[in-house]
């Protein structure tokens, strides 16, 4: 391409060539600037979270303590209750989503013809775009208003299922499409039933891609906050029971500390110092959450790459 | 990242090298598995009952692969169109009936598909059922009223201010994000070296990985004070109602729009990048051959080809922005809805999603909750329409290419 370009510019310059060159330069500058603009918030945000959150993370007891009895006037506190809640809610959500999403993807790729398949594809698209707050309202309308349940952690998991399914379906669909037809045909030719071909040959072949999709799905829902607000209360204490009572989670902890921001003055070395304990904990929880999500994302990348290289 | 996978549906031809590698890998892996499966079949042949549960007691179990026939016989009605994999894709027993395992598995997967369809239908149904009584008891007009009073015995609420703020903040985000997204997409697909393009794309995708609550706390505590001078400068421009000064510091639609723009940047970029990368090489080379500069080539070949994709990418971004909850709820300051209607982007307010989120702890009586569910219903309809339109554009394009 560069040779073509230089050949073009070495022609006797026709009228207007200068303006064309200026326009080209301007466009190039703008395109590079656009990329720089995108980098600014990313780096700025990550820097803020890391620099403000690292203090709490390196403190003793952050990953073992809870927030019981701790107000914005108190130092310390931990995030164990929140980490536990997030892990439980996400684990239940994953356990429900994965089988459904896999079956939907298999249906779309291996079986789906006709109106139901077209409808399903469309609805998965719609599900991708459904706001998390609407998913939460739906679960609320069904399980709390209609069936009279109480707010608890497993309802959050159900709302997250609606957000996770489309992610896994889409990735799995792509992976199943990549499995060459010759494999299926070879299997059929040997007399293997279709379902066994799918379970024993198609799925294992696409496995790494599917795992990537699941991990991306987990990363997508781990930071969701809207369903928490509607479907479960925040508890500063540890509650390992998904099915009753308020339960903490990392986004819930961030929200709670944000709502109770405040400063207090302490005596340090004979001088009065203003400290922001709640803000420290908020950024600490934010960093913990970002680390969790980023590690999951990286894991997904690594799995995807390893499967591609092998 | 999510968006990138979803938009790839049906267009996997974009990733040629990966596909080739994957195929080679898959083939090697599956050869081993086919052998395994074959031995399974042999084992089965010794126990004929497994395959012929439905066959009459007297019939001998004979495995007859229906070579050459592209029509599986007697499979469940869902499979009545010709199978793409042709012969033998459905194994039949001696009487031409599908094996029980196949039928169970096929209905299981179809059931999962049906579940997704029903899920959306149920969302619409439940929101509607719970919202209608509240709307029926609403003292003022649901769509045009500016009141929101659900605490006292009588319901008196309307969604006009919510609708205005939601649309304003989303459109602002779109206006800010789309040019940048197009720039990045061009950078990745047309300017950067392939070795640079991949990490750049990954970095932009990282923006999508950051949870929205973190955007929220960062936006209101760190970004808002820093962009206040910009806001001040714009409010000094004069009497233009969009830029009117409302004495709200920090928690304005403007701040929210900037944050939303960052949040929707990855999805818009991903869709644009995808269509740009699929510009036919012939068009690009034709432009080069005419002596076009790089920018002229982009304007002649890449942008016209990518136009529908750009529109649908922007609409997907809009859908995302309309439904964003927690970041907006943390950023926007609540303002009272008395006094003249405010058109300014330097005012606070509430979107549908943030209104629901802000009041989630007050869902007490069903009727009161109904008012919020009604707001959620409007949001659902809005995002449904925007997403469906975006998908329709993408899919129409797909049929052409």
- Report the CATH number that the domain containing residue B373 is assigned in CATH: 1.10.3720.10
- Calculate how close chain A gets to B127, using CA atoms only, in Å: 6
Dihedral over Cα of A143, A149, A150, A153: its sign: negative
Residue B94 lies in a domain: yes
Query: How many C-alpha atoms does B169 have within 13 Å on its Cβ side?
Result: 40
Residue A166 lies in a domain: yes
Q: Looking at the 3D structure of chain B, how many domains does it have?
A: 2
**Host H or E run for residue A267:** strand A264-268
In whole angstroms, give the CA distance from residue A57 to residue A47: 15
Asked if the model's pLDDT at residue B87 lies above 70, the reply is no
At residue B138, the 3 state secondary structure works out as coil
Residue A204 lies in a domain: yes
State the pLDDT at residue A112.
80
Q: Check whether residue A46 and residue A108 sit in a common domain.
A: no
Instruction: State the best of B104, B127, B130, B210 to mutate against chain A, taking most chain A CBs within 10 Å.
Output: B210
Q: Inspect the interface and report whether the beta carbons of A41 and B262 lie closer than 8 Å.
A: yes
Asked if the model's pLDDT at residue B161 lies above 80, the reply is yes
Phi-psi region of B349 (alpha: psi -120 to 50; beta: other; left: phi over 0): left
Residue B14 lies in a domain: no
Contact list, B180 vs chain A (CB under 8 Å): 34, 37-38
Of B113, B137, B161, which one is at a domain's C-terminal end?
A: B137
Chain A, nearest residue to B88 by Cα: A188
- Calculate how close chain B gets to A199, using CA atoms only, in Å: 10
- CB-closest option in B33, B115, B293 to A200: B33
Q: Check whether residue A36 and residue A85 sit in a common domain.
A: no
* Residues facing residue A267 across a β-bridge: A272
Chain A, nearest residue to B2 by Cα: A167
Q: Check whether residue A296 and residue A163 sit in a common domain.
A: yes
Of B75, B104, B137, which one is at a domain's C-terminal end?
A: B137
Residue B384 lies in a domain: yes
Q: Check whether residue B260 and residue B345 sit in a common domain.
A: yes
Contact list, B291 vs chain A (CB under 8 Å): 8, 11
Q: Check whether residue A90 and residue A39 sit in a common domain.
A: no
B253-277 helix and B160-186 helix, angle to the nearest 10 degrees:
40
Greatest alpha-carbon span in chain B: 93
Residue B17 lies in a domain: no
Q: Inspect the interface and report whether the beta carbons of A213 and B187 lie closer than 8 Å.
A: no
Q: Check whether residue B304 and residue B351 sit in a common domain.
A: yes
Q: Check whether residue B101 and residue B228 sit in a common domain.
A: no
Contact list, A294 vs chain B (CB under 8 Å): 206, 209
Of B97, B116, B137, which one is at a domain's C-terminal end?
A: B137
**Host H or E run for residue A143:** none
Q: Is any Cβ of chain B less than 8 angstroms from the Cβ of A289?
A: yes
How far is C-alpha A229 from the chain's CA centre? 18
Residue A301 lies in a domain: yes
Going by C-alpha positions, the residue among A260, A226, A245 that lies closest to residue A72 is: A260
Contact list, A135 vs chain B (CB under 8 Å): 123
Q: Check whether residue B253 and residue B349 sit in a common domain.
A: yes
- CB-closest option in A45, A170, A192 to B9: A170
Q: What tens-digit pLDDT sequence spans chain A (310 residues)?
A: 444 444 444 455 566 778 889 999 999 999 999 989 989 999 999 999 999 999 888 888 888 888 887 877 777 788 899 999 999 999 999 999 999 999 999 999 999 888 999 999 999 989 988 999 999 999 999 998 888 888 899 999 999 999 999 999 999 998 899 899 999 999 999 999 999 999 999 998 888 889 888 988 998 899 899 999 999 988 888 888 889 889 999 999 999 999 888 777 877 777 888 888 889 899 999 999 999 998 888 888 888 777 654 4
- Calculate how close chain B gets to A249, using CA atoms only, in Å: 12
pLDDT in tens, B261-291: 999 999 999 999 989 998 999 999 999 999 9
Q: Inspect the interface and report whether the beta carbons of A117 and B356 lie closer than 8 Å.
A: no
Q: Inspect the interface and report whether the beta carbons of B222 and A44 lie closer than 8 Å.
A: yes
The answer to whether residues B169 and B260 touch, using CB atoms and an 8 Å cutoff, is yes
Q: Check whether residue B248 and residue B387 sit in a common domain.
A: yes
- Calculate how close chain B gets to A94, using CA atoms only, in Å: 16
Residue A66 lies in a domain: no
- Calculate how close chain A gets to B275, using CA atoms only, in Å: 17
List, as one string, the DSSP characters of B251-279.
SSHHHHHHHHHHHHHHHHHHHHHHHHHTS
In whole angstroms, give the CA distance from residue A295 to residue B263: 20
Q: Check whether residue A171 and residue A215 sit in a common domain.
A: yes
Q: Check whether residue B394 and residue B297 sit in a common domain.
A: yes
Q: Check whether residue B115 and residue B196 sit in a common domain.
A: no
Phi, psi of B146 (to 5 degrees): -105, 5
Print the domain residue range for B102: 52-137
Contact list, A251 vs chain B (CB under 8 Å): 211, 213, 326
State the pLDDT at residue B337.
72
Q: Inspect the interface and report whether the beta carbons of A107 and B373 lie closer than 8 Å.
A: no
Q: Inspect the interface and report whether the beta carbons of A226 and B114 lie closer than 8 Å.
A: no
Q: Check whether residue A52 and residue A144 sit in a common domain.
A: no
Q: Inspect the interface and report whether the beta carbons of A32 and B202 lie closer than 8 Å.
A: no
- CB-closest option in B211, B361, B373 to A251: B211
Instruction: State the best of B25, B39, B66, B113 to mutate against chain A, taking most chain A CBs within 10 Å.
Output: B113
Print the domain residue range for A54: 18-58
Q: Inspect the interface and report whether the beta carbons of A120 and B376 lie closer than 8 Å.
A: no
State the pLDDT at residue B6.
40
Instruction: State the best of B7, B31, B37 to mutate against chain A, taking most chain A CBs within 10 Å.
Output: B37
Q: Inspect the interface and report whether the beta carbons of A34 and B218 lie closer than 8 Å.
A: no
What is the interface size between A and B, counted as CB pairs within 8 Å?
Answer: 393
pLDDT in tens, B33-71: 655 655 555 555 444 444 334 444 444 444 444 444 444
Residue A255 lies in a domain: yes
Residue A11 lies in a domain: no
For the segment B187-215, the average pLDDT, to the nearest whole number, is 89
Contact list, B391 vs chain A (CB under 8 Å): 122, 125-126
Contact list, A140 vs chain B (CB under 8 Å): 363, 369, 373
Residue B89 lies in a domain: yes
Q: Check whether residue A50 and residue A102 sit in a common domain.
A: no
Q: Inspect the interface and report whether the beta carbons of A126 and B387 lie closer than 8 Å.
A: yes
CATH number at residue A217: 1.10.3720.10
Residue B16 lies in a domain: no
Q: Check whether residue B179 and residue B74 sit in a common domain.
A: no
Q: Check whether residue A174 and residue A212 sit in a common domain.
A: yes
Q: Check whether residue B332 and residue B262 sit in a common domain.
A: yes
More confident residue, B152 or A187: A187
Q: Inspect the interface and report whether the beta carbons of B109 and A104 lie closer than 8 Å.
A: yes
Q: State the complex-level ipTM.
A: 0.88
Q: Inspect the interface and report whether the beta carbons of A111 and B5 lie closer than 8 Å.
A: no
Q: Looking at the 3D structure of chain A, how many domains does it have?
A: 2
């Amino acid at each position: 391409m560069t040779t073509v370009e230089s050949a073009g510019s070495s022609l006797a310059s026709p009228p207007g060539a200068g303006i064309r060159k200026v326009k080209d330069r301007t466009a190039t500058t703008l395109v590079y600037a656009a990329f720089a603009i995108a980098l600014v918030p990313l780096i700025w945000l990550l820097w803020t979270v890391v620099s403000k959150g690292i203090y709490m993370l390196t403190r003793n007891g952050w990953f073992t303590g809870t927030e019981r009895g701790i107000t914005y006037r108190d130092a310390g506190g931990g995030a164990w209750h929140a980490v536990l809640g997030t892990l439980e809610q996400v684990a239940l959500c994953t356990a429900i989503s994965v089988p459904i999403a896999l079956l939907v993807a298999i249906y779309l790729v291996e079986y789906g013809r006709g109106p139901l398949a077209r409808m399903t594809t469309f609805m998965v698209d719609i599900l991708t775009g459904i706001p998390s707050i609407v998913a939460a309202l739906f679960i609320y309308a069904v399980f709390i208003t209609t069936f009279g349940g109480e707010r608890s952690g497993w309802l959050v998991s159900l709302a997250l299922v609606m957000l996770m399914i489309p992610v896994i379906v889409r990735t799995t669909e792509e992976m199943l499409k990549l499995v060459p037809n010759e494999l299926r045909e070879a299997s059929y030719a040997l007399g293997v039933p279709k379902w066994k071909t799918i379970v024993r040959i198609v799925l294992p072949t696409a496995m790494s891609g599917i795992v990537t999709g699941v991990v991306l799905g987990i990363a997508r829902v781990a930071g969701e906050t809207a369903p928490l607000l509607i479907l479960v209360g925040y508890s500063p204490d540890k509650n390992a029971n998904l099915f009753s009572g308020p339960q903490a989670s990392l986004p819930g902890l961030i929200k709670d500390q944000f709502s109770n921001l405040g400063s207090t003055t302490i005596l340090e070395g004979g001088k009065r110092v203003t400290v922001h304990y709640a803000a420290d904990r908020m950024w600490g929880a934010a960093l913990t959450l970002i680390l969790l999500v980023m590690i999951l994302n990286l894991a997904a990348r690594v799995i995807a790459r390893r499967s591609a290289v092998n | 990242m999510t968006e990138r996978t979803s938009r790839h549906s049906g267009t996997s031809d974009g990733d040629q090298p990966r596909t080739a590698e994957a195929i080679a890998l898959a083939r090697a892996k599956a050869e081993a598995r086919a052998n395994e499966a074959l031995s399974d079949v042999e084992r089965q042949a010794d126990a004929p009952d497994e395959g012929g549960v439905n066959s009459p007691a007297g019939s001998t179990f004979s495995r007859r692969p229906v070579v050459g026939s592209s029509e599986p016989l007697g499979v469940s009605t869902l499979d009545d169109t010709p199978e793409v994999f042709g012969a033998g894709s459905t194994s039949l027993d001696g009487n031409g009936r599908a094996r029980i395992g196949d039928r169970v598995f096929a209905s299981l997967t179809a059931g999962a598909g049906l579940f997704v369809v029903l899920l959306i239908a149920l969302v619409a149904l439940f929101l509607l059922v719970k919202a209608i009584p509240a709307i029926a008891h609403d003292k003022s007009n649901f769509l045009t009223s500016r009141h929101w009073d659900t605490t006292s015995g009588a319901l008196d609420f309307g969604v006009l201010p919510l609708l205005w703020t939601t649309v304003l903040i989303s459109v602002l985000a779109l206006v800010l994000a789309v040019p940048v997204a197009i720039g990045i997409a061009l950078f990745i697909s047309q300017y950067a070296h392939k070795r640079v393009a991949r990490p750049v794309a990954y970095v932009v995708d990282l923006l999508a990985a950051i949870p929205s609550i973190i955007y929220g706390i960062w936006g209101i505590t760190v970004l808002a004070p820093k962009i206040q001078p910009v806001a001040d400068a714009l409010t000094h421009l004069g009497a233009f109602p969009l830029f009117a000064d409302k004495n709200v510091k920090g928690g304005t639609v403007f701040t929210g729009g900037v944050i939303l723009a960052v949040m929707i940047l990855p999805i818009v970029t991903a869709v644009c990048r995808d269509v740009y990368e699929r510009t036919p090489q012939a068009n690009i080379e034709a432009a080069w051959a005419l002596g076009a500069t790089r920018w002229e080539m982009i304007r002649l070949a890449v942008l016209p080809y990518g136009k529908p994709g750009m529109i649908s990418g922007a609409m997907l971004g809009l859908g995302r922005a309309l439904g964003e909850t927690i970041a907006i709820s943390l950023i926007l300051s609540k303002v009272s809805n008395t006094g003249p209607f405010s058109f300014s982007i330097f005012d606070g307010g509430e979107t549908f999603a943030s209104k629901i989120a802000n009041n989630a702890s007050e869902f007490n009586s069903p009727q009161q909750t109904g008012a919020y569910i009604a707001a959620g219903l409007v949001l659902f309809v809005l995002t449904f329409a925007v997403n469906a339109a975006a998908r329709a554009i993408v899919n129409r394009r797909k049929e052409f290419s």
